[in-house]
Amino acid sequence: MILSGDEILKRLKNGEIFKAGSWDESALKEASYALRIAPDGLMVEEESYPPGKKFPREYIEIEPGRIAVLSTVERLNMPDNLVGKIGVRLDQALQGVTGLMGIQVDPLYGSGEDDERLFIRVANLGNEPVRLFPGDQVFTFELHELKGKIGSPPHRDPMWHRITRRLSNQNKSSWTYITRVRSDLTAETEKVRHTFQPIVLFGVFLVAVTILGVAISLILSVRDTPQLEVPSWVTNWGWILLYTLSVATLSTALVGVATFLQSTAPLFSRKRRRDRKRRGDGD
């Protein structure tokens, strides 16, 4: 059975679910409670702000493809006959916020602890940055009544320690896998483009020079030909065509050379820097 807002309020006033002073009656919904995010207990852009260390900016911004760890203002004090279910509220879900966490909060979670809150890992799978302000109601929290008795819960380290320990072993833990793949593909594409661009441009240059050579050879052969043997199309408009073709081909060749030099300049620049560094190390 899911508790209604009135039943949740009764439990809250009895000191259950959340610690006294950490919940807000305005966050009660028809059949859930809207969890608020805290200004501390965060991991944003691979920077940690443990409980007690306040985030320095006015709002938390999660870029597309990025992952963050958020925590709740509410401090948990779950009774032994309730189970919580966490989800992302509609407004934030429509912006691309997706939860990357277990959705269940076990009975007795936070019981006997002074400051046990929920730490929720989220990803922004939308196309725009998401801004979240401390105090925003971001997550929905349903309470389900448990039938039957439970045993004593196993001892666990504080949730913040468990999260930081596990994430410390992950490479680029603030990026989603899809974003890393897209970034890697973009880098590989740029590498291929920079590799083959000079070759293509050099090919264009060779073709342009070849056409230019053919045009010049034709002009010279016509110049040395007796006037009576010159074809009529040359005397009418052929010279204009030949000169135009020569100028266009020469311009193409010059543009090709300039682009080729421009594209290869960074390579030589990096080589010169490496040579200077090598000489400096040798000295």
Question: Are 54 and 150 contained in the same domain?
Answer: yes
Number of domains composing the chain: 2
pLDDT in tens, 221-250: 655 556 555 555 555 555 565 666 666 666
CATH value at residue 133 = 2.70.40.10
Domain end residue (candidates: 138, 154, 175): 175
Question: Are 170 and 186 contained in the same domain?
Answer: no
Of 32-41, 44-53, 174-183, where does the model show the most confidence?
32-41
**Lowest mean per-residue pLDDT among 17-21, 122-126, 196-200:** 196-200
Domain end residue (candidates: 120, 145, 175): 175
3-class DSSP state of 145: strand
Cα torsion at 34, 35, 36, 42 (round to 10°)? -150
Task: Tell which residue, 116, 142, 115, 150, has the closest CA to residue 5.
Answer: 142
Question: Are 153 and 75 contained in the same domain?
Answer: yes
Domain end residue (candidates: 133, 152, 175): 175
Q: For 14-158, where are the alpha helices, taking DSSP H only?
A: 90-94
Question: Are 107 and 199 contained in the same domain?
Answer: no
Question: Are 138 and 43 contained in the same domain?
Answer: yes
CA 162, CA 214: separation in Å to the nearest integer? Answer: 75
Question: Are 78 and 171 contained in the same domain?
Answer: yes
| Contact (Cβ atoms closer than 8 angstroms) between residue 51 and residue 40 | yes
Q: How many residues does the chain have?
A: 283
Question: Are 77 and 165 contained in the same domain?
Answer: yes
Of 19-28, 109-118, 143-152, 255-264, where does the model show the most confidence?
19-28
Q: Domain containing 14: what range?
A: 5-175
Q: For the chain, where are the alpha helices, taking DSSP H only?
A: 5-13, 90-94, 159-167, 177-223, 232-233, 239-282
CA 51, CA 118: separation in Å to the nearest integer? Answer: 11
Q: Give Cβ neighbours of residue 265 (< 8 Å, ≥ 6 apart).
A: none
Q: What percent of the chain has pLDDT over 90?
A: 43
Q: What is the pTM of this model?
A: 0.64
Question: Are 137 and 205 contained in the same domain?
Answer: no
